[in-house]
Structure 1
Amino acid sequence: MNFFEAKLAHQTDVSDVHTALESGEPGFVLVDSRDQHAWRQGRVPGALHLREVEDSLDPAVPVVTYCWGPGCNGATKAALRLSRKGFQVREMIGGYEYWVREGLPVRTDQGTSRGEPDRLTAPAHQVECGC
């Protein structure tokens, strides 16, 4: 039981992050830990870029980090760095890859778009998986 409680205390998923952001009052700052090229390629709407805001974040506000996806530990490294500075941090499992694969909105400098959900990772006609 303690393992699962700890896991949920330190991780969240793309569906829960999306729902929180849509509420208008997510209770956290979403931070993208990828490089500038990846940031320009596409990002989660409302996310901030780590290298631009790291020194100006308020330690009283929780942070959620993300990177490319399950095969990348950039979000974990960013979460460790921020937690060492006293931030309460959670990592968004699945990262940007699963955000896109679930058909959630993607922001670029040209605007916001939304793709079709990948049937292997998300329900075809809804955002929430029901879990």
Structure 2
Amino acid sequence: MSLVTAVPAADSALALRHFESLLGFETDCWDVHDALANAPHDFVLLDVRSHALFEKGHIAGAVSLPHGKIIESKLAPYPASTVFVTYCAGPHCNGAIRGAIRLAKLGRPVKTMPGGVTGWLDEGFILETGGAANSD
């Protein structure tokens, strides 16, 4: 028996509920890219890294709002129903989760994009450079 099978796989019905529920919490780089390029813009993409990192390279169309600066007054321009998608540097960074927690505590709908900048680049997509879309 390997370490993979030492703990049995979950029952299929439980696995289905678990994996379906994950899509309520996260999206991926490909779906975000496709939505930004083709679909109606029905979410706000938040780069929750520092403004300095945002300026060095970010996803076109993203708004710079570091996770530690997510407060109600910064969200005032957005209707309460606005879905936010947070991203940070990549899978080695928990900033997207920190941002999602802050948004959820403020009662805002939120998903994370777990791959972040690393995943975006891995998919072959490009980053934009330049100033932060929001300021402190």
* TM-score bracket for this pair, using the shorter chain length: 0.7 to 0.9
Q: Does 1:2 align with 2:6?
A: no
Q: Where does 1:1-131 land on structure 2 (aligned, <5 Å)? A: 1-51=16-66, 54-56=74-76, 57-109=78-130
Please, what TM-score do these two structures have when normalized by structure 1? Answer: 0.77
Shift in Å at residue 98 of structure 1? 1.1
Please, what TM-score do these two structures have when normalized by structure 2? Answer: 0.74
- 1:96-130 superposed Cα distances (whole Å, 9 cap, x missing partner): 111122221211129xxxxxxxxxxxxxxxxxxxx
Q: Which is higher, the Rg of structure 1 or of structure 2?
A: 2
Q: Secondary structure at the match of 1:79?
A: helix
Greater per-residue strand proportion = 1
Q: Which has the higher contact order (CA 8 A, sep 6+)?
A: 2
Runs of at least 5 residues in structure 1 that lack an aligned partner in the other structure: 111-131
Shift in Å at residue 24 of structure 1? 4.7
Shift in Å at residue 44 of structure 1? 0.3
Asked whether the 8 Å contact 2:51–2:65 carries over to 1, the reply is: no
Percent identity between matched residues is 37
Shift in Å at residue 91 of structure 1? 0.3
Asked whether the 8 Å contact 2:88–2:116 carries over to 1, the reply is: yes
- Alignment root-mean-square deviation, CA: 1.8
Runs of 4+ residues deviating >4 angstroms: none
Number of matched residues? 110
**Which deviates further from its counterpart, 66-75 or 96-105?**
96-105
Runs of at least 5 residues in structure 2 that lack an aligned partner in the other structure: 1-15, 132-136
- 1:3-52 superposed Cα distances (whole Å, 9 cap, x missing partner): 11211110000000000111251310000000012111100000001148
In the alignment, residue 75 of structure 2 is paired with which amino acid?
D
